Structure 1
Amino acid sequence: MSASAETFDYLAVFFSIILGLAVTEILQGFRRLLIKRDRLVLYLPALLWAAILLAMQAQAWWAMFGLREVTEWTFGMYAVVLMQTILLYMVSGLALPEMEGDAELDMQAAYFAQVRPFFLLMLGVVAVSVLKDVVIRGELPDSANFAFHGGFAALATIAAMTRSAWYHRICAMFAAVFVVVYIVTLFDHIG
Structure 2
Amino acid sequence: MSNLNVVNHPLVQHKLTMMRDKSRSTGGFRRLLGEISLLLAYEVTRDMPLTLETIETPLAPMQAPVLDGKKVVLVSILRAGNGLLDGILQLIPSARVGHIGLYRDPETLEAVEYYFKMPDNMNNRDAIVVDPMLATGHSAALAIDRLKQTNPRSIKFLCLLAAPEGVAHLAKHHPDVPIYTAALDEKLNEHGYIVPGLGDAGDRMYGTR
Structure (1/2) with the larger helix percentage:
1
TM-score by structure 2 length?
A: 0.24
TM-score (norm 1): 0.26
